[in-house]
């Protein structure tokens, strides 16, 4: 971010921190996530106007219930009456310790409840951490406060999935095939909390590491085998690669299956991407459990909102000749927070360092950008 953009973000976060994390009893406040994406992608000039229009969806922070301490936090976890108490707790923690240290302690505590709040809390944490990673050593008070708000929201809405049976995973071992193998729940009625309670089983993913092939010669190693060898020797890096694969697969799948629920299926991609954004700030021993939790979140959303059939290929929006910057400009003009966040993730897929390593024949950029365009086409414009 430029200095001007950074200032815009801090102003927006300060403006938002008088608001609570929810409205109308359970709906999430998406504004901190949306404004971070807008600023990041060169739309800082639109942020305050966007907030003016979003203002009717904001409610004041609810009153406190009881102070949370090191002695009583377990009983307060997942208690929505503590929506104000938990951010206050994390404000105190972050005032006393570096934010990475606080995150390292609380991330594994919160991961089992990743689907709580319809995955919005972990997504908000992902946006908050991304801003803190932008300028190491020069964090600002609004960004640290945003991390406290995000972690507090997650703690208050912490809600583990029901016990699930493990089904065989796809033979290919790919994330795309694993998502395709997720069985939709029979009853897709009610809100996401009612739907998630009906989950019974998931395919096993990721697969165990493949044995390393030795068919290549030393002077001409196979790229896939080289990566596999490196991953086998470095399990955290293997988890990062798998998580990147999952985000890509879920984003591509939104292009073909997002019509099942254009708003809610956004989270099958944005939730695992939030986890991916947090990895660089975490101890490496937390990367593998982070991958497992991200898979659970993406598969859960897929199971409870998946449509019976994919969209025919000829009905997908074409991303031919459209740049990533133009795609995000369309999302910003569209204005809906879910379209903005899905486009933000799609651009991560299209422009991230791992995208360059893919076979060009797979057209990863085009499919990711098509997913973003499809979100803008299916979701009602905000303004």
**Per-residue pLDDT, 214:** 41
Angle at the Cα of 345 from the Cα atoms of 329 and 127, rounded to 5 degrees: 100
Domain hosting residue 31, numbered range: 3-156
Asked whether 122 and 33 are in contact (CB, 8 A), the reply is: no
**Domain membership flag for residue 302:** yes
Is the predicted pLDDT of residue 246 greater than 80, yes or no? yes
- Average pLDDT (283-308) is 97
Verify that 335 and 196 share a domain, yes or no: yes
In sequence order, the 6+-apart residues with CB closer than 8 A to the CB of 340 are 34, 37, 38, 331, 332, 334
- Overall number of domains in the chain: 2
Position 210 scores a pLDDT of: 53
Q: What is the DSSP letter of 205?
A: -
Q: Which pLDDT belongs to residue 357?
A: 47
As a whole number of angstroms, the distance between CA 49 and CA 126 comes to 24
Residue 293: is its pLDDT beyond 70? yes
Residue 264, Cβ neighbours under 10 Å: how many?
18
% of the chain exceeding 90 in pLDDT: 81
Query: Do 96 and 188 have their domain in common?
Result: no
The answer to whether residue 228 sits within a structural domain is no
Residue 221 located in a structural domain:
no
Residues 200 and 113 in one domain: no
Kindly list the distances between the CA atom of residue 266 and the CA atoms of 15, 84, 258, 270, 375, in Å, as whole numbers in the listed order: 26, 27, 7, 6, 8
* 358 pLDDT higher than 90: no
Structure confidence by residue, pLDDT tens digits, 55-98: 999 999 999 999 999 999 999 999 999 999 999 999 999 999 99
On whether the CB atoms of residues 9 and 45 are closer than 8 A, the answer is no
Residues 128 and 240 in one domain: no
Q: What is the mean pLDDT of residues 276-280?
A: 98
Distance of alpha carbon 229 from alpha carbon 23, whole angstroms: 49
Strand 165-167 and strand 201-203: the pairing is parallel
Query: Is residue 229 assigned to a domain?
Result: no
CB atoms within 10 A of CB 253: 23
Whether 80 and 120 map to the same domain: the answer is: yes
Q: Judge if 11 and 140 occupy the same domain.
A: yes
Percentage of the chain beyond pLDDT 70 is 89
The verdict on 124 and 171 lying in the same domain is no
CB 251 within 8 A of CB 349: yes
Q: Categorize the per-residue pLDDT at 352 as very low, low, confident or very high, splitting at 50, 70 and 90.
A: confident
Lowest mean pLDDT among 223-227, 265-269, 367-371: 223-227
Is residue 189 situated within a structural domain? yes
Q: Which residues pair with 60 in a beta bridge?
A: 19
Read off the pLDDT of each residue in 89-117 and give the average, rounded to a whole number: 97
Picking from 104-108, 116-120, 225-229, 231-235, which range would have the lowest pLDDT averaged per residue? 225-229
In a domain, 38, yes or no: yes
**210 vs 333, higher pLDDT:** 333
| Secondary-structure percent of the chain, ordered helix, strand, coil, rounded to 5 | 65, 5, 30
Residue with tokens 């406190």: 64
**Does 6 score more than 80 pLDDT?**
no
If asked whether residues 172 and 137 sit together in one domain, one would say: no
Residue 383 lies in a domain: no
Write down the mean pLDDT value for the chain.
90
Same domain assignment for residues 170 and 64: no
Q: Is the predicted pLDDT of residue 337 greater than 60, yes or no?
A: yes
What's the pLDDT at 2? 54
**What are the start-end ranges of the E strands in the chain?**
22-23, 27-28, 165-167, 201-203
Q: Do 125 and 147 touch, CB atoms closer than 8 A?
A: yes
Q: What is the mean pLDDT of residues 189-208?
A: 94
Q: Is the pLDDT of residue 212 over 80?
A: no
Q: What is the pLDDT of residue 348?
A: 96
- State the pLDDT at residue 225: 46
Instruction: Return the pLDDT at 81.
Output: 96
Three-state DSSP state, 360: helix
The pLDDT value given to residue 145: 97
- Cis (ω within 30 of 0) for the bond into 206? yes
Q: What is the pLDDT of residue 360?
A: 37
CA 121-127-130 angle, to 5 degrees, is 140
Question: Do 264 and 355 have their domain in common?
Answer: yes
Per-residue pLDDT, 232: 65
In a domain, 223, yes or no: no
Whether residues 347 and 199 share a domain: the answer is yes
Q: Find all residues with CB under 8 Å of 144, minimum gap 6, and list them.
A: 94, 99, 132
Please indicate, yes or no, whether residues 57 and 194 belong to a single structural domain of this protein. no
Dig out the tokens for 350 from the structure: 């299209």
Is the per-residue pLDDT at 132 higher than 50?
A: yes
């Amino acid at each position: 971010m430029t200095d001007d953009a950074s200032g815009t973000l801090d102003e927006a976060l300060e403006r938002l921190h008088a608001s609570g994390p929810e409205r109308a009893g359970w709906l999430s406040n998406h504004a901190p996530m949306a404004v971070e994406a807008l600023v990041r992608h060169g739309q800082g000039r639109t942020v305050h106007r966007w907030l003016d229009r979003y203002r009717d969806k904001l409610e004041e922070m609810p009153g406190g219930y009881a102070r949370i301490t090191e002695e009583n936090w377990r009983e307060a976890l997942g208690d929505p009456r503590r929506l104000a108490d938990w951010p206050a707790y994390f404000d105190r923690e972050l005032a006393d310790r570096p934010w990475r240290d606080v995150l390292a302690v609380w991330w594994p505590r919160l991961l089992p409840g990743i689907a709580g709040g319809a995955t919005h809390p972990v997504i908000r944490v992902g946006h908050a951490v991304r801003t803190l990673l932008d300028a190491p050593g020069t964090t600002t008070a609004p960004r640290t406060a945003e991390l406290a708000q995000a972690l507090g929201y997650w703690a208050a809405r912490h809600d583990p999935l029901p016990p699930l049976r493990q089904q065989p995973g796809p033979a290919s071992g790919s994330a795309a095939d694993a998502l395709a193998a997720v069985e939709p729940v029979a009853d897709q009625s009610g809100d996401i909390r009612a739907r998630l309670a009906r989950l019974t089983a998931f395919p096993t993913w990721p697969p165990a590491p493949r044995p390393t092939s030795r068919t290549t010669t030393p002077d001409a190693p196979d790229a896939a085998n080289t990566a596999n060898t490196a991953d086998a020797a470095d399990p955290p890096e293997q988890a990062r690669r798998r998580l990147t694969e999952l985000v890509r697969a879920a984003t591509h799948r939104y292009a073909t299956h997002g019509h099942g629920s254009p708003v809610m299926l956004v989270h099958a991609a944005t939730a695992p991407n939030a986890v991916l954004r947090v990895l660089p700030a975490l101890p490496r021993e937390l990367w593998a459990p982070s991958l497992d939790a991200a898979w659970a979140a993406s598969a859960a959303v897929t199971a409870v909102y998946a449509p019976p059939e994919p969209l025919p290929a000829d009905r997908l929006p074409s991303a031919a000749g459209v740049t990533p910057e133009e795609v995000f400009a369309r999302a910003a003009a569209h204005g809906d927070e879910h379209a903005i966040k899905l486009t933000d993730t799609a651009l991560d897929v299209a422009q991230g360092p791992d995208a360059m390593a893919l076979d060009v024949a797979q057209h990863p950029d085009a499919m990711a950008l098509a997913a973003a365009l499809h979100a803008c086409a299916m979701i009602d414009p905000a303004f």
